[in-house]
Amino acid sequence: MAPFEPMRILVVDDEESIRRLAKKEFSDPHRKVWTAGSAHEAFELVRRQQVDVIVLDIRLPDGDGLELLEQFRETLPDVEVIIITGHGNIDSAVEAMKSGAYDYITKPFTLDRLELVIEKAFQRVRLQRENRLLRHTQSYQPSPRFIGSSAAIQHIQYLIGKVAPTDVPVLITGESGAGKDVVARAIHGLSRRQENPLIIKNCGTLQKELIRSELFGYCKGAFTGATESQEGLLTLAHQGTLFLDEIGELPLEVQASLLRVLENQTFRRVGDKQERQVDVRFLFATNRNLAEEVKASRFHEALYHRINVFQLDLPPLRQRKEDIPLLVEYFLGLLSAGKPPCRISKNVMHLLMEYSWPGNVRELRNVMERGMILSENGIITAQGLPRELAEQNRYKGTVLHGERPLLSLYELEKQHIQRVLEHTSGNRSQASDTLGISRKTLYRKLKEYGLE
């Protein structure tokens, strides 16, 4: 939906006086009126012109209004149709409602009455388009909090507070899972656009051939298959924020058009000669080094400078481990869904702090989620952790061979003794029997391995 565009009404009636009157009375800066005297004319018109509301006389010289209604419902999903019926023709009114008309109005009628029905129909059109927009918008998800006590995160929180109220584009960089989405939502949530849409699109998932039309929209007939005009994400984000994730994946030729939007807030739909205005705040994210991409001629240099006005770089979690305890507490609370949150054992916290977190905060969240499922009596122990975490000390400095690490003999012997002891529930004479060594040797080895 484009709030800056007037409502577009089509009146289809064979009575010339009604067409003339409707055009005269309803046309104003917020409403555009087209008229058609026949079914054929009406069809020609909607082929060329996108409309929002159609007022349709059920009796037409060259066809049945009901049939036309059905065709409209099929081909113009975003349009509401109001039926005009003759006096006492309630049957066809009922038929029309069954076929998906928004409402009907009986001749003779006053223009005021018709105007009211048109306005209501248009509200419904807007609502439907907004719903479609909502499917693109992520704002219905409760906005996640941006947590962290490290100096790096505190500084980023400070910068977010400064930049959010402006319209300056922000480039958010950092490894996958480091929190780029969270930052983008925080910026939008603290901006003057917070009530308006936040549209999030990952440029890496856009289909190459369709990127331009998804972003900018297209005109009917712009290419095969474009049977109807369609607004792009840019228009959906009007007065709100457009967050383009993985901006490094955008093809070069589309980058040039994007630069124009950033520079003068104008764009063109695919197949349209006319320039349009939009009011959009841009956020970008990437886990690529864009400066390198520019050097390699894979990224538009001018666009890079334009989007790199304000950069927020999220350090990987391994460089800010002091955030881990706070994040753990946050996720345990968040994921407990009202029940008393799980706790973690000291040993587990130690393992979490040791680990290198290649998947960053996302991985930590997943580990907590898994741990909660495997928790016993509300406590997450090392058994509830994935192997790479639980066994990281054991495997430190070892080489992997397929799934299994190549252990030193020392390490292998230690683990084997541990396993046997687990099996005998700690009974040492049984264990020494199984191992084929004397109890005295076993005691010595336990001492040596620190297993007592």
Ligand X SMILES: Nc1ncnc2c1ncn2[C@@H]1O[C@H](COP(=O)(O)OP(=O)(O)O)[C@@H](O)[C@H]1O
Is the Cα torsion angle 175, 178, 182, 183 positive or negative in sign? Answer: negative
Of 34 and 284, CB closest to ligand X: 284
Task: Provide the minimum distance between the beta carbon of 149 and ligand X in the complex, in angstroms, as a whole number.
Answer: 10
Residue 418 CB burial class (10 angstroms; 0-12, 13-18, ≥19)? middle
Which of the stretches 58-66, 105-113, 180-188, 370-378 binds Mg ion when contact is defined by CB under 5 A? 180-188
Q: Which of 20, 48, 113, 145 binds ligand X (CB under 6 A)?
A: 145
Of 366 and 392, CB closest to ligand X: 366
Task: Provide the minimum distance between the beta carbon of 307 and Mg ion in the complex, in angstroms, as a whole number.
Answer: 16
Task: Provide the minimum distance between the beta carbon of 429 and Mg ion in the complex, in angstroms, as a whole number.
Answer: 57
Of 72 and 284, CB closest to Mg ion: 284
Q: Which of 52, 175, 181, 231 binds Mg ion (CB under 5 A)?
A: 181
Which of the stretches 55-63, 144-152, 269-277, 441-449 binds ligand X when contact is defined by CB under 6 A? 144-152
Contact characters 314-343, ligand X, x per CB under 6 A: ----------------x-------------
Report d(CA 258, CA 400) in Å as an integer: 46
Under rule CB under 6 A, residue 178 binds ligand X: yes
Of 303 and 314, CB closest to ligand X: 314
Q: Which of 6, 59, 146, 345 binds ligand X (CB under 6 A)?
A: 146
- How many residues can be counted in the chain? 452
Report d(CA 35, CA 23) in Å as an integer: 7
Of 65 and 174, CB closest to ligand X: 174
Of 73 and 321, CB closest to ligand X: 321
Under rule CB under 5 A, residue 363 binds Mg ion: no
Helix (H, G, I), strand (E, B) or coil at 449: helix
Which of the stretches 136-144, 175-183, 295-303, 313-321 binds Mg ion when contact is defined by CB under 5 A? 175-183
Helix (H, G, I), strand (E, B) or coil at 82: strand
- What's the count of helices (H) and strands (E) in the chain, helices before strands? 19, 20
Under rule CB under 6 A, residue 361 binds ligand X: yes
Amino acid at 326: L
| Sequence-separated (6 or more) residues with CB below 8 Å from residue 413 | 445, 449
Helix (H, G, I), strand (E, B) or coil at 292: helix
Task: Provide the minimum distance between the beta carbon of 179 and ligand X in the complex, in angstroms, as a whole number.
Answer: 3
Q: Can you read off the two tokens belonging to residue 434? A: 């199984």
The residue nearest ligand X at its CB is 179
Strands (E), 298-394: 310-314, 343-344, 379-380
Torsion of CA 208, 214, 217, 219, to 10 degrees: 50
Of 80 and 181, CB closest to Mg ion: 181
Report d(CA 321, CA 301) in Å as an integer: 35
Q: Which residue has the tokens 């780029």?
A: 180
Contacted by 365, from ligand X, Mg ion, none: CB < 5 to 8 Å by type: ligand X
Report d(CA 263, CA 247) in Å as an integer: 17
Which residues of this protein are in contact with ligand X, per CB under 6 A? 144-148, 174, 176-182, 330, 361-362, 365
Which residues of the shown chain bind Mg ion in the complex (CB under 5 A)? Answer: 180-181
